[in-house]
Structure 1
Amino acid sequence: MKTKAFIMATLVCSSFVFMSCDDDDDKFTPESIVTKAFDTKYPDAQRVSWENEAGYVKAEFYTGSYEAEAWFDPQGNWMLTETDLPYNALPQTVKNSFEASLYAKWKIDDVDMLERPDAGTIYVLDVENGEQDADLHYTEGGILIKEVTDGNGDNEHRPSVTPSAIKELISEMYPGATILEIDTETKGTEVDILHENIHKEVWMDTQNKWLYTEWEIRSSQVPDIVMTAFKASAYASYQIDDIHVIQKAEGLSYEFELEQGDRDITILFNEEGILVSPTH
């Protein structure tokens, strides 16, 4: 009996300790430099709660009827805000783009608006169709810049710091461009930008040195010399799926993604209209 009583007492005490820890987390208050920065940015915020996460301070709150999260660094610098939106609150340009896409009949699970300093606003639609799911990233203008399919995205949006080398390179190569998103991988970094209202993917190596830039164009935008070469090639009867411009230090090239029946092929022309490499 004494043993049972001791075990019960231990469990009760342990529960009390864990509850106390939870209470402490619930009562977390960041430094005043952070709360002042938050109050300045969101003076009408309601139901604010705070927590530490991944080295940042995160405020969960309501702005109007929308639930939001704002991330700050310990010095009070705003890093990211994620706002949960209803579909009807999206810009009309985004809705038009989605409703004209292949995903139009998919079920919309969630809509988030992502705002970052020195970056364009991004709208992320989490959609599903049976066991398939995708995250669709749109600009304010309705340009689809990224499709993350079948659980390949973690659905967790975190702050990121853009290296000064990347900022300087983008500013020098593409004056007036807006950085939309940055995705760092083991092989390098992909920077999505909006330049002259064109979505471009800028690729860097692991040292943030420029490798190449790629963007999609219509058939009517392909230089005559290149389109003439395509029509005279052995692939002229193939259906064109997509055409991309690839910009490298040595110049431009034009990549055609083609299909014919069950066969897919990618071919590449240089600026002079010379077929460089068909890739099966």
Structure 2
Amino acid sequence: MKKPIVIMSFVLALGAGTITAQQMNKGGEVPVAVKNAFKKDFPQVKKVKWDDEHGTYEAEFKLNGKETSATYNPKGMKEETETSLKISELPKNIISYVAAKKYGKIKEAAKIVKTDGSVIYEAEVKSGDLLFDHNGNFQKLVVEKD
């Protein structure tokens, strides 16, 4: 009778370990390499919130009074930095484009800088995120799926 109890206990212990591992992969600890890279890139930032973004890690923080985020891969390589903008800080041709195409009011705006130095502007409207190149030329509409 003791044998089945021991086996059952062992199986339950393994199952509990698997759940813990899955939980770690779905939003557990931020890798040390990522935290170290962030500290090197933004040494002045003391308060940061981390999110697991489908295999990458996003740090959300304030920098120079602006909402900012930086995305890193699991090895600690920065992929992009996104900084919020006032809508009036968007290039004028973006604001004109949104009005001419009747996308409605711009809710939020941001400037995204990729690791290669390329710049993308983002204008959030009701239907999704409008992306523009560094010159303010329309690139695409990204619709978030729930």
TM-score (norm 2): 0.65
Which residue of structure 1 lines up, in the alignment, with residue 88 of structure 2?
88
| TM-fit CA distance, 1:112 | 2.2
Matched-pair contact (CA < 8 Å) for 2:94–2:137: no
Matched-pair contact (CA < 8 Å) for 2:120–2:134: yes
> d(CA) in 1 for partners of 2:144 and 2:50?
23
Query: What aligned pairs does 1:217-232 form with structure 2 within 5 A after superposition?
Result: none
CA distances 1:106-139 after superposition (whole Å, capped 9, x unpaired) = 31111122222226210111224xxxx3532212
- More helix per residue: 1 or 2? 2
Which residue of structure 1 lines up, in the alignment, with residue 113 of structure 2?
115
CA distances 1:175-210 after superposition (whole Å, capped 9, x unpaired) = xxxxxxxxxxxxxxxxxxxxxxxxxxxxxxxxxxxx
- More strand per residue: 1 or 2? 1
Q: What letter matches 2:143 in structure 1?
A: G
Structure showing greater radius of gyration is 1
Which residue of structure 1 lines up, in the alignment, with residue 14 of structure 2?
none
> d(CA) in 2 for partners of 1:43 and 1:103?
42
The unaligned stretches of length 5 or more in structure 2 are: 1-27
Secondary structure (helix, strand or coil) at the match of 2:107 reads: strand
| TM-fit CA distance, 1:77 | 0.7
Matched-pair contact (CA < 8 Å) for 1:81–1:116: yes
Secondary structure (helix, strand or coil) at the match of 1:38 reads: helix
Query: What aligned pairs does 1:193-212 form with structure 2 within 5 A after superposition?
Result: none
| TM-fit CA distance, 1:65 | 1.5
Which residue of 95, 117, 129 corresponds with 1:135? Answer: 129
Between 1 and 2, higher relative CO (CA 8 Å, sep ≥ 6) is seen in 2
Matched-pair contact (CA < 8 Å) for 1:29–1:50: no
Query: What aligned pairs does 1:177-188 form with structure 2 within 5 A after superposition?
Result: none
Query: What aligned pairs does 1:35-184 form with structure 2 within 5 A after superposition?
Result: 35-90=35-90, 94=91, 96-101=92-97, 102-103=100-101, 106-118=104-116, 120-128=118-126, 133-146=127-140, 148=141, 153-154=143-144
Q: What letter matches 1:114 in structure 2?
A: I
> d(CA) in 2 for partners of 1:29 and 1:59?
13
> d(CA) in 2 for partners of 1:87 and 1:155?
24
Q: What letter matches 1:39 in structure 2?
A: K
> d(CA) in 2 for partners of 1:105 and 1:89?
18
Which residue of structure 1 lines up, in the alignment, with residue 32 of structure 2?
32
Secondary structure (helix, strand or coil) at the match of 2:76 reads: coil
> d(CA) in 1 for partners of 2:116 and 2:145?
22
> d(CA) in 2 for partners of 1:29 and 1:48?
14
The unaligned stretches of length 5 or more in structure 1 are: 1-27, 157-280
Number of residue-to-residue matches in the alignment: 118
Q: Identity across aligned pairs (percent)?
A: 26
Matched-pair contact (CA < 8 Å) for 2:103–2:125: no
Q: Note closer, same or farther for the CA distance 1:34–1:123 as it changes in structure 2 (3 Å cut).
A: same
TM-score (norm 1): 0.37
